[in-house]
């Protein structure tokens, strides 16, 4: 595809305007070669932009001028433009409509047209699925599950009884929706006694849940994942939790029961949130942090227990110098002793 056509589709500014470059594919900046396009997100990667062999680079509007002879596309959001370019050159697998003969589908299940249902899929009684679903091999859907249109479940997804899933939801391999919440009481002898987990899970529209995530059903009521929320691999959402729309839970995030996550929240990798916490809109919790209390909207926090990110950075800088500071205190204490001390 000609670079001018790519610029037109992205609404990007071509530099130089008369550049005539044929693009055959997309590649990372380190490995891109002639005929390929790449992107640079920040000015600190200017050196990589000079050394790359790519024929064109997607850059920010404020990025330094590209070296002579290098074609560029300037845009306000290079990463988003890069994602759209990948779509132009990448053809995802196509799955033809039809039901594999080994699939087991209860006669009371209702499935929309154009469904593609793979080998050994099991769909229980009372299930409803909208138009254009794709179920890869070994997907299991328990009774009375309700699913919207354009649903895609990769192999070994399990959806437990009575859960509800909206439109355009994508579940990756091994996702479990609606497993029992971790609820136990002790009896009169101190033995663990299981609390029935009689609630459900609601997944709203445009949610993507990646491999081996577990979303627990509520003990009573519902666990809810808000619209356009994205969960990375191995995240765990406990019973009765809720996330607002457009939030992101990165790999190995864990939410204990009854946690409330607001809108546009980012929980970076391995963040842990204790039960019954409220995380406000727009909060960012950095990687490996743990929080045991509520967080105000718009805050950025780090550490365990998590506190203000800027203060945490100053504290970490001091912590690294503690041996040196302790030595200075000891030396100062010895130097300050009198002859009779």
Show Cβ contacts of residue 107 under 8 Å, excluding neighbours closer than 6 positions: none
Q: What is the pTM of this model?
A: 0.89
Say how far residue 80 (Cα) sits from the centre of its chain.
16
Residue 228 has pLDDT above 90, yes or no: yes
Q: Which of residues 6 and 322 earns the better pLDDT score?
A: 6
User: How much is the average pLDDT of 144-171?
Assistant: 98
Full strand arrangement of the beta sheet holding 278-279: 110-111, 128-129, 146-147, 164-165, 200-203, 222-225, 242-243, 260-261, 278-279
Cβ contact 76:13 at 8 Å: no
Is 60 exceeded by the pLDDT of residue 339?
A: no
What Cα–Cα distance (Å) separates residue 280 from each residue in 28, 51, 148, 293? 35, 43, 29, 11
Q: What is the pLDDT of residues 116-152, one digit of tens each?
A: 999 999 999 999 999 999 999 999 999 999 999 999 9
- Model confidence at 332, pLDDT cuts 50, 70, 90, reads confident
Q: What are phi and psi of 5, to 5 degrees?
A: -70, -40
Q: Kind of pairing, strands 110-111 and 128-129?
A: parallel
Q: Does residue 275 register a pLDDT over 60?
A: yes
List of domains in the chain: 3-89 (3.40.1390.10), 157-310 (2.160.10.10)
User: What is the set of active-site residues?
Assistant: 239
pLDDT at 334: 67
Mean pLDDT for the chain overall: 93
69-100: string of b/e by CB count within 10 Å (b at 16+)? Answer: ebbbbbbeebeebbebbeebeeeeeeeeeeee
| pLDDT tens digits, one per residue of 18-36 | 888 999 999 999 899 999 9
Q: Is the bond into 262 cis (omega within 30 degrees of 0)?
A: no
Q: What pLDDT does 341 receive?
A: 45
Query: How far is C-alpha 4 from the chain's CA centre?
Result: 33
For residue range 236-266, what is the model confidence (pLDDT) as tens digits? 999 999 999 999 999 999 999 999 999 999 9
């Amino acid at each position: 595809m000609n670079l001018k056509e790519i610029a037109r589709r992205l609404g990007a500014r071509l530099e130089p305007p008369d550049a005539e470059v044929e693009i055959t594919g997309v590649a990372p900046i380190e490995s891109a070669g002639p005929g390929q396009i790449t992107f640079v997100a920040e000015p600190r990667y200017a050196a990589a932009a000079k050394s790359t062999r790519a024929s064109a680079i997607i850059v920010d509007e404020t990025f330094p001028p590209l070296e002579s002879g290098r074609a560029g596309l300037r845009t306000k959001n290079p990463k988003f433009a890069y994602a759209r370019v990948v779509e132009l050159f990448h053809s995802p697998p196509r799955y033809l409509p039809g039901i594999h003969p080994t699939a087991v589908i209860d006669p009371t299940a209702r499935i929309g047209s154009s469904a593609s249902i793979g080998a050994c899929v099991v769909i229980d009684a009372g299930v409803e699925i909208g138009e254009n679903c794709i179920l890869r091999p070994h997907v299991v859907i328990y009774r009375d599950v309700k699913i919207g249109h354009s649903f895609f479940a990769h192999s070994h997804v399990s959806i437990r009884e009575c859960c509800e899933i909206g439109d355009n939801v994508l579940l990756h391999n091994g996702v479990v929706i609606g497993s029992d919440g971790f609820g136990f009481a002790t009896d009169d002898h101190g033995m663990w006694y299981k609390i029935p987990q009689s609630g459900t899970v609601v997944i709203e529209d445009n949610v993507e849940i990646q491999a081996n995530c577990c979303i627990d059903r509520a003990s009573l009521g519902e666990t809810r994942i808000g619209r356009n929320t994205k969960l990375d691999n191995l995240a765990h959402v406990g019973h009765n939790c809720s996330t607002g729309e457009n939030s992101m839970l990165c790999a190995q995030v864990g939410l204990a029961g009854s946690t409330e996550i607001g809108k546009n929240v980012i929980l970076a990798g391995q963040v842990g949130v204790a039960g019954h916490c409220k995380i406000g809109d727009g909060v960012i919790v950095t990687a490996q942090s743990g929080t045991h209390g509520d967080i105000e909207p718009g805050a950025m926090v780090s550490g365990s227990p998590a506190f203000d990110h800027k203060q945490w950075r100053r504290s970490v800088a001091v912590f690294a110098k503690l041996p040196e500071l302790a030595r200075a205190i000891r030396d100062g204490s010895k130097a300050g002793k009198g002859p009779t001390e």
